[in-house]
Chain A
Amino acid sequence: MNFFLQQLIQGISMGALYGLIAIGYVLIYNAWGVLNFAQGDMVMIGAFAILIAHVYMGLPLLIAFPIAIIMCCIIGFLVEISAFRPLIDANNTRRLIATIGVGIFLRNLVRVIFGADPYPFPSIFGNTAVNIGELKIIPQNIWNTVIGFGLVILLSIFLKQTHIGKSMRATAQDREAARLMGINVKKNMSITFIISSALGGFAGMLICPVFFVIPTLGTLMGNKGFAGALLGGITSNPGSMIGGISLGILESFGAGYFSSSVQAGIAYAVLFLVLIFLPAGLLGKKESRKV
């Protein structure tokens, strides 16, 4: 029973991060209608940003975090204006290929600068387990869960309550109608992109204490986040959080009850199974075609 709980907690804390990455995919997919294959690489950018700010520049975390987030926003914005905005009316294949190009570019640029070796990152909230009853709890995991959920709740409040959030949702729902209502569609799509990049980056910052910082971090985490987004239904924000957490729990149980090599395959198995049996995901809308 304890082992079960232990794995569950572990799974939820990792899943919260997957969910955070997944939401980035969903936001961009809804606003831009394209699957952003470079979203995972924003996670990697976030990890390196905090590495630079905290470890290299030696800034305290309270200052390093905002700086790293700003770095992610700037890079996200650059990606948006250079590879997304010019292709806004292009066909899907071209847009998809452009996002893959961006991913290749970011990943290898970081590799050229930092090398392919992993960088360790000091624990932020402590990596020594604290005993609570018979459970061993790692503070970092708890904080990751709390922050992950916190951000998602903040995001949904932002989208539902603020003026800009509402107009962002309107843009995502129907770009043409939003334009007719006088909403600045371009600006909203930009903001959506930047927020998605920042969320991805934030997930990367939370991951680095429990993971090494490497240029391929993005591919790894991106695929998991994407599997979570797909499981949640690719169009639904709460769905992607649920999808991410489900994936985290599945992985954690896979590793705990079978082996860690099983864990590595779970995300892909989930991807496949969802694609085949549940293309609309857990909470996604069934796509209706326009004829």
Chain B
Amino acid sequence: MKTFHKLYRVSRIWILLLIVLTLPYWIPNNYYLQVANLGMIFSILTLSLNILAGYTGLFSVGFIAFYGIGAYTSAIVVTRLGWSVWVGFILAGVVSSLFSFLLGLPTMRLRGMYFAVATLAFGEIMYQVFLNWTSITGGTKGIKGVPSPEFFGISLRPYSKYFYLILAVLVIVILLTRNLINSRTGRAMLAIRENDIAAEAMGVDVPKFKMIAFLIATFFAGVAGALYGHEVRYVSPESFVNAESAAVLAMMVVGGIGSIPGSILGGFILTMLPEYLRFLGNIRLVIYGAAIVAIIIFAPKGLGGLIEWIDGFLSGTLKLGTHKKSTEKVEGENGHS
């Protein structure tokens, strides 16, 4: 048994990598490949929402707006100004962060609930901007013909090739997030989530670190938006309506608030699942709503908790009973803002 655990611990990352790298060959057709790509893009978006909500405790309701800003920024500079797609990706993140900076300046000193409301209003306003600022965004018609990037002369247009670009970005975002959490900045963010009074007593400049979390999260969200625009090659307002914010929220909750593997799975599964459950139609969102409530109540750690448990079991580091104890702690944890 011990050798098995050891084998697992050494090989788990490679097995995972092998599965992921060969994924395009397993997926039956182009359509599902496109959905898988979207799934990974939503994984990035969910991860970035998690930096804000899961790690810093700053809950954003209109988060899809930053994804939209990224998608439009890249689409506009590439189609209108003819800039390189790669520049578009970076600019998407930068512009998205810029907006969050402007929104954050007045709202970062507010308490969490007010921040959520401010982002809700911001989401609605951005949707109206996408819809009505026709000269720049193309209004309801959107922006067509967003090109695919090229990589040293190789077109990344086929979904099977674009897959690897998204995968690379996803891996980078995962690594950056993980490093961030295990650092001074990341701990300051966690401290704000846990107990802002104690955080201040530790010398944490609370508004400043909230802002840092906001900038990082929206940068990633902007890049995810750009990836989306160049994947579907078309950007229009209805991709960024409020209901989409709800979907990303569901992804984060199902995945497990504050869990990196959870965010990835949550984003991926909740994007894939509806495609297989197409016959359900609008019931999908009803189920989302009910699932959000149920998971928040009964399994606040979501899929992430399950993965941690399985991983702990297979690698032999699982202490019997610890999982149960720690979830109870979450249940009994007292409200604090």
Contact = CB atoms under 8 A, between A and B. Distances in A.
**Physical contact A–B (CB less than 8 Å):** yes
Nearest to B107: A275
Contact of B113 (A90, A92, A276): A92
Contacts of A287: 111
A106 B59 CA distance: 21
A264 B290 contact: no
Nearest to A290: B197
Interface centre among B57, B111, B285 (most CB of A within 10 A): B285
Interface string A65-107: 0000000000000000011001101111111111011111111
B29 interface: no
Interface size class of B (residues with CB under 8 A): 35 or more
Given A219-B242, A275-B106, A89 B118 contact: no
A83 B331 CA distance: 14
A91 B194 CA distance: 9
Contacts of B106: 275-276
Contacts of A268: 121, 124-125
A86 B297 CA distance: 7
A90 B298 CA distance: 12
B312 interface: no
Contacts of B125: 265, 268
A188 to B, nearest CB: 18
A35 interface: yes
Contacts of A289: 197
Interface in A238-291: 261, 264-265, 268, 271-272, 275-276, 279, 287, 289, 291
Interface centre among A91, A93, A95, A287 (most CB of B within 10 A): A93
A52 B253 CA distance: 34
A101 B116 CA distance: 15
Contact of B117 (A101, A108, A230): A230
Contacts of A96: 59, 112-113, 116
Contacts of B337: 91-92
B180 to A, nearest CB: 19
Contacts, number: 136
B334 A94 contact: no
B286 A291 contact: no
Contact of A98 (B118, B124, B246, B297): B297
A89 B296 contact: no
Contacts of B335: 33, 89-92, 95
A226 interface: yes
Interface centre among B114, B249, B257, B337 (most CB of A within 10 A): B114
Given A287-B111, A289-B197, A108 B286 contact: yes
| Chain A contact residues, majority secondary structure | helix
Contact of B253 (A34, A91, A97, A111): A97
Given A101-B296, A219-B242, A264 B107 contact: no
B50 to A, nearest CB: 11
Contacts of A193: none
Given A86-B297, A92-B337, A102-B289, A275 B283 contact: no
B229 to A, nearest CB: 26
A100 B61 contact: yes
Given A89-B335, A230-B117, A268-B124, A94 B296 contact: yes
Interface size class of A (residues with CB under 8 A): 35 or more
A116 to B, nearest CB: 8
B120 interface: yes
Interface string B280-303: 011101101111110011001000
A205 to B, nearest CB: 23
Contacts of A265: 125, 128
Nearest to B114: A275
B120 A111 contact: no
B118 A101 contact: no
Interface string B88-126: 000000000000000000110011111011101100110
Interface in B169-224: 193, 197
B251 to A, nearest CB: 12
Contact of A91 (B128, B250, B336): B336
A109 B286 contact: yes
Given A93-B257, A291-B197, A275 B117 contact: yes
Nearest to B61: A100
B28 interface: no
A223 B124 contact: yes
B118 A104 contact: no
B107 A91 contact: no
Contacts of B328: none
Contact of B283 (A33, A112, A226, A279): A112
B293 A272 contact: no
Closest 4 CB pairs of A and B: A105-B289, A101-B292, A104-B289, A108-B285
Given A101-B293, A104-B286, 9 more contacts: A33-B335, A89-B333, A100-B292, A102-B289, A103-B289, A104-B250, A106-B289, A108-B282, A276-B107
Interface of B: 53, 57, 59, 61, 106-107, 110-114, 116-118, 120-121, 124-125, 128, 132, 193, 197, 242-243, 246, 249-250, 253, 257, 281-283, 285-286, 288-293, 296-297, 300, 331-337
19 contacts: A33-B335, A37-B61, A83-B297, A92-B112, A93-B53, A94-B257, A100-B292, A101-B291, A104-B243, A104-B285, A107-B285, A108-B282, A111-B285, A223-B124, A230-B117, A271-B118, A272-B118, A289-B197, A291-B197
Interface of A: 33-35, 37, 82-83, 86-87, 89-98, 100-109, 111-112, 219, 223, 226, 230, 261, 264-265, 268, 271-272, 275-276, 279, 287, 289, 291
